[in-house]
Amino acid sequence: MQVFGRVQGVGFRYYTKKKAIECNVNGFVQNKADGSVYLEASGDEIDLETFVDWCRQGPTWARVLKTSVSELPTKDWNGFEIR
């Protein structure tokens, strides 16, 4: 998933990790040079839906303008990390 808008410098990665842990989702989140945030996540379908829905809004200080979601081959992530 890639998230575009005002998503860097507003705690997006920190709150994404917090939400991922709440949703029992594994993977990672990282800032990209173009100002977007990129993340990969795996988990149960309902947990992923809840997590992706949250990412489309982001934390209070963020302003998500657009998201791009792609399915990737499942990876066996251990926890959720900020890169």
* Residues classed as catalytic: 13, 31
* Residue 27 parent element (H or E): strand 26-31
Place of tokens 């998933």: 1
Spatial separation of the C-alpha atoms in residues 23 and 6, rounded to whole Å: 23
